[in-house]
A and B are shown apart, each in its own frame.
Chain A
Amino acid sequence: MNASLTIPTTNVAAIEQSPGYWSGVFKRFLRDRVAMCAAAVVLLLVLLALFGAFVTPVDPYQSSMLKRLKPIGTEGFPLGTDELGRDMMSRLMVGARLSLFMGITPVLFAFLIGSVIGIIAGYTGGWLNTAIMRTVDVFYAFPSVLLAIALSGALGAGIGNALISLTLVFIPPICRVAESVTAQVRSRDYVEAARASGANAFAIIRTHVLGNVLGPIFVYATSLIAVSMILASGLSFLGLGVKPPEPEWGLMLNTLRTAIYTQPWIAALPGLMIFITSISFNMLSDGLRSAMDVKQ
């Protein structure tokens, strides 16, 4: 009671200048050197995905029987050529577009769908909660790699099917996190107060719940991007995702497997790109978590 009584007496200007939660998060994030480096790499990769196709030195689809598997540092091909004589550097640059798209989109969709289901389950409770969470439990009984591959295997190869199966893989974990944070917020006094004053469920969720739960769910979702990148490229690596001749890192890794005895370091390059991307997303997500002070 005391605290609330003292508020009107404090300096109004000081309150207006006092930094909010988000500026605190932003400041903490800027001070985190590892996270900043990761953010820079991710930004670079996103720029490559957006504009890489316009600045490639050579046409990434142009194959040549004579120029197959040229070593790194060849005149005109700084990173060598692949098994069909296509320029590796151009293909790696253009490959960023499909690889990032395939890695990020499923997490984005799963974040939207999983949050809605999880918040509904967490807020309503009761039989609806039981029904939703028991269904989620069933999907939890599958290791994620197995579920992703089984789903894409059943649906058939292709970008669309790979996106659907990866989205389905990430909905249950996001749903579980959303449900548990929503259930915590629901039992807070201000939610009780809002309900007592006659606000309907939709209004309560919009004004009191969303702002408190979206942060933790978002942080958790960002931690899934690295996994999603590895899984999406893995599907293409198995021949269940992107189809040739499209440049995608996982698929390139697969077709270059035949070259591991002749040009081993060229064969390893696409995987290095996947590795750099996933480690940057992991570190970015870790930085975000500690800046937002989300406990797992």
Chain B
Amino acid sequence: MILFILRRILYAIPIMFGVALVCFSLVHLAPGDPLVSVLPPDASAELQKQLRTLYGFDRSLPEQFFSWILRAVTGDLGTSIASSRSVTEEVFRAVKNTLILASFATLIGFFFGSLFGFVAGYFRDTFVDKLASFISVMGVSVPHYWLGMVLVIIFAAQLNWLPATGAGPGGSADWAWDWAHMRHLVLPAITMSVIPMGIIARTVRALVADTLAQEFIIGLRAMGLTDFGVFRHVVKNVAPTALAVMGLQLGYLLGGSILIETVFSWPGTGFLLNSAIFQRDLPLLQGTILVLAIFFVLLNVLVDILQSTLDPRITRQ
């Protein structure tokens, strides 16, 4: 068990190195001068040279990569070109906001996804199954940025029940768990929950159907267990995989929130990424992508470890 955990963590290290390399190359793949957004068009050659040295763009690429990664390990991701603030600070403030949004969305998605999945799996090939399966196909097919717009149209523009954009009175800086802030969370969280809802429903349906078809279920029924007793056994068999899928979905939402955050002007990582792209702020761009990808890798490791504690059969494979 401990060996499994250690191996899993060790395996993540080369992946993280590769991820850092991809992030770095991605940004240096970009055509054009990285300082174009801050330099005035008539900047003197001297000023250009000074800034280039300041940001380290004058050194060779491998040199830049290793100095960047060494500083990144210590938590220093450099300085944003556009705002000249610390990238680490900017990214983590945004990550906090995205995490709030993505966690709520995952919880909503997990609740409804499991519900639809269990109902569909239990009543296989009936009308209820078809309905639940149809809802989950809709969940994975809907362009979520459009769903966000439709919800804004209905609940903000037409009914005026909920705010259309933003994260509350304090803007991006101070989040509080009161209704004045929480009401801003409702529409984006529901919009975001639709994808994990569809995927979890599909997974749970297949798992429930598989479990119900196994012989031990007949054995349990033959032993005289009530329907509820059998149901508990089904849940125990479905839970590890369903929870793993939920964990991975949280990771996908953290990294994939950019479209929804753009629709709702939610001050998270997606919003930051968007401004980094359009201002060509390379340190901010590579820093944000790196943090999100590393988050995703660590979450994967955590999910694997949790899954193996819940279901010891996995470590033996």
Interface residues of chain B, those whose CB is within 8 Å of chain A, are 14-16, 18-19, 21-23, 26-27, 29-31, 137-138, 140-147, 149-150, 152-153, 157-158, 251-252, 254-256, 258-259, 262-263, 273-274, 276-278, 285, 289, 292-293, 296-297, 300
Contact = CB atoms under 8 A, between A and B. Distances in A.
A145 B262 CA distance: 13
A268 B251 contact: no
Interface in A110-163: 134-135, 137-139, 141-146, 149-151, 153-156
Q: Which 4 residue pairs spanning A and B have beta carbons closest together?
A: A271-B146, A145-B256, A143-B255, A138-B18
A275 B146 contact: yes
Contacts of A268: 146, 149-150, 153
Given A260-B153, A271-B150, A272-B146, A282 B256 contact: no
| Residue from A138, A154, A230, A239 with most neighbouring chain B CB atoms (10 Å) | A154
The size class of the interface chain A forms with chain B is 35 or more
A146 B255 contact: yes
Contact of A153 (B254, B263, B277, B300): B277
B19 A233 contact: no
Interface centre among A135, A149, A226 (most CB of B within 10 A): A149
Contacts of B263: 257
Contacts of A274: 143, 146
B293 A146 contact: yes
A175 interface: no
A143 B143 contact: no
B69 to A, nearest CB: 15
A237 B157 contact: no
Contacts of B289: 142, 146, 150
19 contacts: A134-B14, A141-B18, A142-B22, A143-B252, A143-B255, A145-B255, A146-B258, A146-B292, A150-B23, A150-B273, A153-B285, A154-B26, A226-B141, A237-B145, A238-B259, A238-B274, A257-B149, A260-B157, A271-B150
B277 A142 contact: no
A282 B137 contact: yes
The residue among A237, A239, A250 with the most chain B CB atoms within 10 A of its own CB is A237
Per DSSP, are chain A's interface residues mostly helix, strand or loop, or mixed?
A: helix
Given A155-B29, A279-B138, A282-B137, A267 B149 contact: yes
Contacts of A146: 255-256, 258, 273, 289, 292-293
A191 B251 CA distance: 40
A153 B273 contact: yes
A142 B296 contact: yes
A154 B30 contact: yes
Contacts of A135: 18
A285 to B, nearest CB: 10
Given A141-B19, A153-B285, 20 more contacts: A134-B14, A138-B22, A141-B296, A142-B255, A142-B296, A144-B252, A145-B255, A150-B23, A150-B285, A154-B29, A253-B145, A257-B149, A260-B149, A260-B152, A260-B153, A264-B157, A267-B149, A274-B143, A275-B141, A279-B141
B26 A150 contact: yes
Contacts of B276: 153
Nearest to B142: A275
Interface in A215-255: 226, 230, 233-234, 237-240, 250, 253
A196 B149 CA distance: 62
Contact of A226 (B18, B140, B300): B140
A108 interface: no
Nearest to B21: A138
Contacts of A282: 137, 140-141
B64 to A, nearest CB: 16
B31 to A, nearest CB: 6
A197 B46 CA distance: 72
A53 B141 CA distance: 26
Contacts of A153: 273, 276-277, 285
Interface in A63-91: none
Contacts of A150: 23, 26, 273, 285, 289
A275 B278 CA distance: 27
A147 B273 CA distance: 12
A272 B18 CA distance: 39
Contacts of B142: 275, 278-279
Nearest to B153: A264
A283 interface: yes
Contacts of B256: 143-146
B259 A234 contact: yes
Contacts of B277: 149, 153, 240
Contacts of A271: 143, 145-147, 149-150
Contacts of B255: 142-143, 145-146
A54 interface: no
Q: Most B CB atoms within 10 A — which of A135, A153, A155?
A: A153
Nearest to A149: B258
B140 A237 contact: no
- Chain B CB count within 10 A is highest, among A141, A237, A253, A282, for A141
Contacts of B143: 230, 233-234, 250, 271, 274-275, 278
A261 interface: yes
